[in-house]
Amino acid sequence: MQKFLLVVLVAFGCFTLTRAQNLQSPSAFLGYDIGTQFSRHHQVIDYFESVAEAVPYNVKVEQYGTTNERRALVLAYISSEENIENLETIRENNLKNTGLLEGEPTNTDVAIVWLSYNVHGNEASSSEAAMLTLYKLLTERKDLLKNTVVIIDPGINPDGRDRYVNWYNETKSTPYDIDQQASEHNEPWPGGRPNHYLFDLNRDWAWATQIETQERLKVYNQWMPHIHVDFHEQGPNEPYYFAPAAEPFHEIISDWQRDFQTQIGQNHVKYFDAEGWLFFTRERFDLFYPSYGDTYPTYMGAIGMTYEQGGHGMSGLGILNDEGHVLTLVERLTHHTVTGLSTVEIASKNAKQLNTEFAKFFDNSNLKYKSYVVKGNQDKLNSLKSLLSKHDIKFENANNGKVSGYDYATGKQGTMSVDANSLVIHTNQPKGKMVKVLFEPNAKLNDSLTYDITAWSVPYAYGLDAIASTSKVSSSKTYEGKMPTVLSEAYGYVSKWNSLKDAQFLADLLKHDFRVRFTEKPFSSNGENFDRGSLIITKGDNKHLEDFFGTLNQIKQKYEQHLTQINSGFSQTTPDIGSPDIKLVNKQKVAVLYGEGTSSLSYGEIWHFFEQQLHYPLTSINTDDLSGTNLNKYNVLIIPNGYYGSVLNENNLQKINDWVQAGGKVIAIDGALRSFAGKDGFSLKYKSSDNYSSNDNLTPYAEREREYTNNLITGAIFKTKIDNTHPMAFGYSKDYFTLKLGSSTYDLLDSGYNVGHLADTKVYSGFAGKDALANLGNTLVFGEERKGSGSFIYFVDNTLFRSFWENGKLFLVNSVFFVNNNAYEL
Ligand SMILES: [Zn+2]
């Protein structure tokens, strides 16, 4: 047997040797010199597959997902023949080394390096670099593969990349024009940066709201690489940025992680210095917000880094930058190839130590908080569980009793009673540091000059009560709630209204032509109390349906809704079901502004919310077409965050006003409020700021940037007082924690409903500059202003921001379906 195998191997060896000669360079495969054209995503994938075919013993390619536009998400595993044969063992050994898999690793000598390219679609040099890096690893740097598994994701965001590349290819001159003003250097809205739903995938790692992230995390968490690099591009006037990163660093980042990213950076310096290339380090890109391609891997134990090449969407194949240098795609991809290879090189040199230090990261016995305990609405708990599962974070159920510790609701020490429905998340588990990052009430910020939001604590985001306990809270294995039972025939049914699930249930009923009522006043029937917003579905209202009972049962099961049966239209406490306070929900026709002027991110959040979360139709109207649009076809017009100077000109404003007077509803989000604030006939007013101190004029030049942070709120959590008798706030309690994203402030409405306002300015989590804070007291958060038969509804804080603030989403649904329900029906 042994001999036979040997013969086969020798024969196979010759065969593979000739096959290896089929290994083509990217240029040979593509038919043009790499960097002289942009390659479309499928060409990049084709190249990777051709390489895997040519050298299957060194490269394995697998598809791990499909994007919204049906493009392939692909990973390549590149290593020595021996390692590729043992790939599964290497993966398991790595997980055993961290405690994520039971058992002792048999070997921990192999470094695992994961290189992610092109997360921002229009930072397009990087997928080109991915091809060249693959080729060089298999030719010039094969030595590195002996003890390293390199995982390459050539394109994290294929839909964005192809949006950019297709636009560029159809726009560019031949030969390319280096003039910055040429059309090929000016991408149209929305640009190639985001994915299909216009989400920034480099803000989505922790929340995993997008399909690309969800699919990637499944593989990422099975592998848990030691090093992760996210390749980006910055403006064409900046040369190159690599590790070490800028402050602030999150406090869980270990000394080893700090040191080793410096070592990696030093290795790049060697290559850049040899060529005389410019670069910078330690500035601008910090390690704090957990949803980036550098921080997320870092909080999962890796050395997570961002590399930024000068270039970006405006640079095309070549551009004359402000320093008089013609920056070419060839140059850009060459730099990214050098840093990629240099990263693998240093990993290979330090493979053993990487493994040892990696393992240490997963010891979480010394974290201050031992357990986080959360309780509240079951749907909200379920959606939190689903988030935790995406990161392989373990949770259990609490045992009956009381827990004490930091109380999120008050921001002080407190006590909370818990039962088997409450969740307990312990920090002494392999993913304990990520638990801390996601849950801790207030992440320690050692420098307020950060690139992003400074607060995200998930109990606030999910609208759950929570205690952080410094001692381990007793818990049992997760208990699965019972599926709701099948309905029996009755006069009608009532469903509570508290969560996105409830809203999805309503949307599905409306899609199936159900006539559904909601109550504007609390009532009790059949011994149960129902709050404002509860949905009422009666047999009598739905005689037009062919199979009322069967369909209702089906939809109810789908959304796991608990429906209470009522046997009469008479209620124990009023209103009765036929009362004018119990209103039919109108099947609203909803439109949203799209295009030039809107923030593509905000538009994308709304689009994604309606299409992928609420599952309710939404019509997008291009801002260019607004003047010619017949608004009378819609009940609701959502205006995303944006800059509407020219879009909402006098004519269009008048048009919108007239439509609202006649019964339309405008929902204006964040920056969109600027179009109405202070205008004639609007109660919405900016709050004047009078905290500008004369000393500001004397702040030295070098300190201006830092001084500026006094005026900043980039994302901090505040407690908002809610008028939950107003339909916009049905399903909420009196307190709501809001993520405030900016320091624009509006006075309370003189004539209108102040549905949410900041009564005080205590910062529950995150950073807020002192001048910004001084102006924040008694300001509007959510409001409604009536005009004629219609309404303007104001969201000062964007509750759909990156789609992760789960508890804010119902405000939007309420605004669409419940607010000013007297407005005309189409
Ligand atoms: Zn980028």
Cα 200 to ligand 1 centroid, rounded to whole Å: 9
Tell me which of 363-377, 476-490, 654-668 is least confident.
Answer: 476-490
pLDDT value at residue 484: 62
Cα 512 to ligand 1 centroid, rounded to whole Å: 42
- Select the more confidently predicted residue: 19 or 566: 566
Cα 532 to ligand 1 centroid, rounded to whole Å: 45
Cα 233 to ligand 1 centroid, rounded to whole Å: 5
Cα 514 to ligand 1 centroid, rounded to whole Å: 46
What lies within 8 Å, CB to CB, of 13 at 6+ separation is: none
Burial bucket for residue 596 (CB in 10 Å: 0-12, 13-18, 19+): middle
Cα 578 to ligand 1 centroid, rounded to whole Å: 56
Confidence class of residue 2 from pLDDT cuts 50, 70 and 90?
Answer: very low
Q: What is the per-residue DSSP string for 528-579?
A: EEE-TT-EEEETGGGTT-TTHHHHHHHHHHHTT--EEEE--S--SBSPPTTS
Nearest one of 129, 135, 164, 130 to 40, comparing CA atoms: 164
Nearest one of 618, 494, 491 to 556, comparing CA atoms: 494
Omega of the bond leading into 575 within 30 degrees of 0 (cis): yes
Dihedral class, residue 667 (left if φ above 0, else alpha if ψ from -120 to 50, else beta): beta
pLDDT value at residue 271: 98
Average pLDDT over residues 390-415: 97
Evaluate if residue 694 carries a pLDDT over 50: no
pLDDT value at residue 487: 81
Ligand 1 ion local residues (Cβ < 5 A): 120, 123, 232
Dihedral class, residue 786 (left if φ above 0, else alpha if ψ from -120 to 50, else beta): beta
Q: Tokens 């149960």 identify what position?
A: 528
Cα 240 to ligand 1 centroid, rounded to whole Å: 13
- Select the more confidently predicted residue: 483 or 518: 518
Cα 584 to ligand 1 centroid, rounded to whole Å: 47
H/E segment holding residue 524:
strand 523-525
Q: Tokens 């807020």 identify what position?
A: 768
Cα 306 to ligand 1 centroid, rounded to whole Å: 9
Cα 464 to ligand 1 centroid, rounded to whole Å: 33
Cα 398 to ligand 1 centroid, rounded to whole Å: 42
Look at residue 212 and give its three-state secondary structure: helix
Cα 420 to ligand 1 centroid, rounded to whole Å: 44
Cα 445 to ligand 1 centroid, rounded to whole Å: 23
pLDDT value at residue 733: 96
Cα 311 to ligand 1 centroid, rounded to whole Å: 10
Cα 294 to ligand 1 centroid, rounded to whole Å: 11
pLDDT tens, position by position, 151-160: 999 999 999 9
Q: What is the mean pLDDT of the chain?
A: 93
Confirm if 345 and 144 have CB atoms less than 8 A apart. yes
Position 76, amino acid: A
pLDDT value at residue 728: 98
Q: Which two tokens stand for residue 763?
A: 């910062």
pLDDT tens, position by position, 769-824: 888 898 999 999 999 999 999 999 999 999 999 999 999 999 999 999 999 987 54
Average pLDDT over residues 42-57: 98
Evaluate if residue 13 carries a pLDDT over 60: no
Cα 697 to ligand 1 centroid, rounded to whole Å: 35
Confidence class of residue 426 from pLDDT cuts 50, 70 and 90?
Answer: very high
pLDDT value at residue 480: 66
Measured over the CA atoms of residue 744, residue 748, residue 753 and residue 758, the dihedral's sign is positive
Confidence class of residue 488 from pLDDT cuts 50, 70 and 90?
Answer: confident
pLDDT value at residue 710: 81
Cα 714 to ligand 1 centroid, rounded to whole Å: 19
Between CA 580 and CA 603 the distance in angstroms is 36
Between CA 509 and CA 20 the distance in angstroms is 59
pLDDT value at residue 449: 67
Cα 236 to ligand 1 centroid, rounded to whole Å: 13
Cα 184 to ligand 1 centroid, rounded to whole Å: 19
C-alpha to C-alpha distances, 513 to 435, 503, 585, nearest whole angstrom: 43, 15, 11
Neighbour count for residue 328 (Cβ, 10 Å): 20
- Select the more confidently predicted residue: 146 or 690: 146
pLDDT value at residue 453: 84
Confidence class of residue 451 from pLDDT cuts 50, 70 and 90?
Answer: low
Cα 361 to ligand 1 centroid, rounded to whole Å: 28
Average pLDDT over residues 402-422: 96
Omega of the bond leading into 175 within 30 degrees of 0 (cis): yes
Q: Which two tokens stand for residue 164?
A: 């950019």
pLDDT value at residue 15: 47
Measured over the CA atoms of residue 619, residue 624, residue 626 and residue 628, the dihedral's sign is negative
Tell me which of 10-14, 503-507, 574-578 is least confident.
Answer: 10-14
pLDDT value at residue 5: 42
Cα 123 to ligand 1 centroid, rounded to whole Å: 6
What lies within 8 Å, CB to CB, of 547 at 6+ separation is: none
Cα 230 to ligand 1 centroid, rounded to whole Å: 8
Q: Could you say which DSSP state residue 57 is in?
A: T
Cα 119 to ligand 1 centroid, rounded to whole Å: 7
Q: Could you say which DSSP state residue 453 is in?
A: -
Cα 228 to ligand 1 centroid, rounded to whole Å: 15
- Select the more confidently predicted residue: 703 or 780: 780
Cα 745 to ligand 1 centroid, rounded to whole Å: 30
Confidence class of residue 86 from pLDDT cuts 50, 70 and 90?
Answer: very high
Beta-strand pair 528-530/492-495: unpaired
Evaluate if residue 638 carries a pLDDT over 70: yes
Between CA 301 and CA 433 the distance in angstroms is 9
C-alpha to C-alpha distances, 480 to 61, 177, 382, 501, 702, nearest whole angstrom: 38, 62, 10, 18, 58
Evaluate if residue 495 carries a pLDDT over 90: yes
Confidence class of residue 696 from pLDDT cuts 50, 70 and 90?
Answer: low
Beta bridge partners of 591: 619, 637
Cα 269 to ligand 1 centroid, rounded to whole Å: 21
Confidence class of residue 690 from pLDDT cuts 50, 70 and 90?
Answer: low
Q: Could you say which DSSP state residue 642 is in?
A: B
pLDDT value at residue 702: 74
